[in-house]
A and B are shown apart, each in its own frame.
Chain A
């Protein structure tokens, strides 16, 4: 077992505990008033869902436009559970959240089976449709309260629960992505053909990431239900899904800490802009556009705000070397820095700043392999046709024309 890594895990655990203690004291002593307490809870919930969406979109590279739908599944399931199970208090809530997460995961599996076997942006379309279908269904069923929705859901969502579920989400996604399973997920985003050639069962890992993502979103939905107290089918619409997508992009695709930061910023921002009253959304949009112009890769880009990042930052600011648990690969890092410097001198290295090489990135579009012989191919049968009809496959076009 890796001692130095363990030490860094421990340090992170300490950070999490300290963060909890500080916020807890501030909330209990009344320094943070009831209004901001609500905002903090909302930030926590939004951060949880944003990280979930980031797993599917930033890390796996599949565009999902229906996470509000998975939240709705989780929200209604858990609300119905606490309302009807007779189990009161937190036991009921936690069981309800689990049921919500599980049902959201099952729904995702149903949605994913047809969509994830194909290459291309099918998942975007299918999840978009799924989001709409869910809100129609919620409106038409009697047990979900129809168009009026559900009222009187016990307001059980509290700070410790939100905080620790967020922490658990961060840990789970981090542990996942820094493992062979996570690397498989990243590989699929980078190049699914190469991933397949490396022995990765692309469909299976797409499913894994997508289902985990939906499960977490479902739990987030459950927290939301017990935070707001009323559920209306109109809430979980397309715009709500897009809000989360904006948070993911704003924070940086593939960056967990970026997601937290952006969920925080984008939840507080509308509150701060209240003085602009009618122009609030206008100002909000303009700010978003400005950020996207100046930092198109999002707040943190693909970086993570890790211990190593913090240590590097401190060194830059103070000019002193900070010892941290993350210095375990000091050697590795100094080698990398040296190579980077040399590489930049030779002019083939463009980006690479301080800090972690996170797991962000952009999906590679297969445009360069679109088969040329379209007409001939359309008539063929069997596997060839499926391959061709839906995706270009690893057909590599001739690069040198007219050599024959």
Chain B
């Protein structure tokens, strides 16, 4: 059984069909790319997967169980964690605390245990600290552990966001434009890191990205969205040569009109 199954997924915002009858699957340990021009509906797909929006129709199943109707905060419990297109860190908290918050979904000790500092508090906090340290070392953030997240340079902020997501032990990691704003060297490092993360944490990764070098370099399979619909899917080489994809990206004279119609 596939890890994630998306069936005939659609959502409308007023008259705008942001996602239409989208179908795809993600298997364990896979790196899948979700690409498409601006406004194609990629982030909206992530918002649907994480229950931020409920679809107008269709179904999303994780390990065979539908996630529809779940509150958004439960998404990480069932194994999906995302990062955001515009980095969202807990900016005035320390790097270490950002990661510790990532462990929230595995937390067990109660409020009473916290207030009275019962043994369960100490046990779990020690574990968080240890694992946070481990993660921070992997992502070369250990020596900035006590620095406020907002004081990190951009590249480290991106890494921290991924680090925090991994703290939640996801089965499927959703990365929304992880390379946005990075220079070529940083992008290259990121590619290595994504591969490493998949192997080390044994999870599936679905990523949205505009940087074609990155997409073609690490994705094993691609899904191309345009105007909310899947217009192509397959191996990176196939996608690169696909005329519909090229057309969607380069645009045709008609495209401008349909966009104008969408805006109304």
Residues of A whose CB lies within 8 Å of any CB of B are 1-2, 9, 172, 175-176, 179-184, 186-187, 190-191, 193-202, 208, 302, 332-333, 335-336, 338-340, 343, 346, 348-352, 357, 359-362, 364, 368-369, 373, 375-380, 382-384, 387-388, 393-396, 398-401, 403-404
**Inside 8 A of B176's CB, which chain A residues have their CB?**
396
Residues of A within 8 A of B115 (CB): 172, 175-176, 179
Given the known inter-chain contacts A200-B104, A202-B73, please indicate yes or no for A404 contacting B255, CB distance below 8 A.
yes
Is the pair B148, A180 in contact by a Cβ cutoff of 8 Å? no
Q: Contact check: which of A199, A340, A393 meets B105 at CB < 8 Å?
A: A199
> B147 touching A343 by the CB < 8 A rule?
yes
Query: Which residue of chain B has its CB nearest to the CB of A201?
Result: B73
Output the nearest chain A residue to B108 by Cβ-Cβ distance: A180
The 28 listed contacts between A and B (C-beta, < 8 Å) are A175-B115, A175-B117, A180-B109, A180-B125, A183-B97, A190-B90, A193-B88, A196-B72, A197-B75, A197-B81, A199-B74, A199-B76, A200-B104, A208-B111, A333-B146, A336-B144, A339-B143, A339-B147, A340-B147, A352-B147, A357-B94, A362-B92, A373-B16, A376-B15, A387-B52, A399-B85, A400-B38, A404-B37
Query: In whole angstroms, what is the CA distance A348 to B82 when docked?
Result: 27
B105 in contact with A348 (CB, 8 Å)? no
B214 beta carbon closer than 8 Å to chain A: no
A187 touches B90 (CB 8 A): yes
B233 to chain A, nearest CB (A): 20
Contact of B143 among A191, A338, A398 (CB under 8 A): A338
Whole-angstrom distance between the alpha carbons of A350 and B85 in the complex? 25
> Which of B74, B76, B146 touches A336 (beta carbons < 8 Å)?
B146
Residues 77-124 of B at the A interface (beta carbon under 8 Å):
77, 81-82, 84-86, 88-94, 97, 100-105, 107, 109, 111, 114-117, 119, 121-122, 124
Most buried by A among B90, B92, B168: B92
Q: How distant is B51 from chain A, measured CB to nearest CB, in Å?
A: 9
Contact in complex: B114, A181 (CB < 8 Å): yes
A349: B residues at CB distance < 8 A: 147, 151
A202 to B75, CA, bound (A): 13
Distance from A37 Cβ to chain B, minimum over Cβ atoms (Å): 31
For the side of the interface on B, what is the size category? 35 or more
Q: Which residues of A lie under 8 Å from residue B190 when comparing CB positions? A: none
- A333→B96 CA distance, assembly (Å): 13
Q: Could you say which of A9, A172, A191, A343 contacts B88, with CB atoms under 8 Å apart?
A: A191
Cross-chain contact B14 with A378 (CB below 8 angstroms): yes
CB-CB under 8 A for A197 and B50, given A186-B93, A364-B91, A373-B16: yes
Residue of A182, A190, A194, A196 near B92 (CB, 8 A) is A190
Considering the complex, give the chain B residue whose CB is closest to the CB of A177.
B114
Q: Could you tell me the distance between the alpha carbons of A2 and B84 in the complex, rounded to whole angstroms?
A: 36
Known contacts A179-B114, A373-B16, A383 near B151 by CB under 8 Å:
no
A194 touches B121 (CB 8 A): no
For residue B145, CB closer than 8 A to chain A, the reply is yes
Query: Within the complex, which residue of B72, B73, B151 is in contact with A348, where a contact is CB–CB below 8 Å?
Result: B151
Select the residue from A175, A202, A388 with max chain B CB neighbours within 10 A.
A175
Known: A197-B50, A349-B147, A357-B94. A399 touches B180 (CB 8 A): yes
| Cβ 8 A contact of A194, one of B90, B94, B147 | B90
A197 touches B72 (CB 8 A): yes
In the assembly, what is the distance between CA of A197 and CA of B167, in Å? 12
Max count, chain A CB within 10 A of own CB: residue among B81, B104, B105: B104
- Give bound CA distance, A328 to B97, whole Å: 18
Knowing A183-B101, A184-B104, A352-B148 are in contact, say whether A194-B168 is a contact too (CB < 8 A). Answer: no
CA distance A288 to B208 in the complex (A): 50
Let me know if B126 and A2 touch, CB within 8 A.
yes
B43 interface hit (Cβ, 8 Å): yes
A393–B53 alpha-carbon span in the complex (Å):
9
Are A404 and B90 in touch, CB under 8 angstroms? Answer: no
Report the separation of the CA atoms of residues A291 and B74 in the bound assembly, to the nearest whole angstrom.
Answer: 44
Given the complex, which residues of B lie within 8 Å of A401, measured CB to CB? 38
Is B164's beta carbon under 8 Å from chain A? yes
- Residues B168 and A198 in contact, CB atoms below 8 Å apart: yes
Q: How far is the CB of A391 from chain B (nearest CB, A)?
A: 11
Q: Is B54 an interface residue (CB 8 A)?
A: yes
A396 to B44 alpha-carbon distance, docked (Å): 9
Q: Is there contact, CB below 8 Å, between B92 and A368?
A: no
Q: Which 8 A-B pairs have CB atoms at the shortest separation, nearest pair first?
A: A361-B92, A199-B105, A376-B14, A179-B114, A336-B146, A199-B76, A190-B90, A194-B88
Nearest B-chain residue to A180, judged by Cβ: B107
Instruction: Give chain A residues whose Cβ lies under 8 Å from the Cβ of B53.
Output: 383-384, 387, 393
* B residues near A362, Cβ cutoff 8 Å: 92
**B71 located at the interface, meaning its Cβ lies under 8 Å from any Cβ of chain A in the complex:** yes
CB contact under 8 A between A186 and B97, given known A376-B14, A383-B53: yes
Distance A302 CA – B97 CA, assembled complex (angstroms)? 15
| B147 touches which of A182, A336, A403 (Cβ 8 Å) | A336
- Nearest-CB distance from A115 to chain B (Å)? 18
Q: Please tell me if the beta carbons of A183 and B104 are within 8 angstroms of each other in the complex.
A: yes
B259 interface residue per 8 A CB criterion:
yes
The reply to whether the CB of B206 lies closer than 8 angstroms to some CB of chain A is no
What B residues does A183 contact at CB under 8 A? 93, 97, 100-101, 104
Complexed CA–CA distance, A191 and B241 (Å): 41
Q: Are A332's CB and B146's CB within 8 A? A: yes
Q: Is the CB of A396 within 8 A of B77?
A: no
Docked CA distance A165–B14 (Å): 54
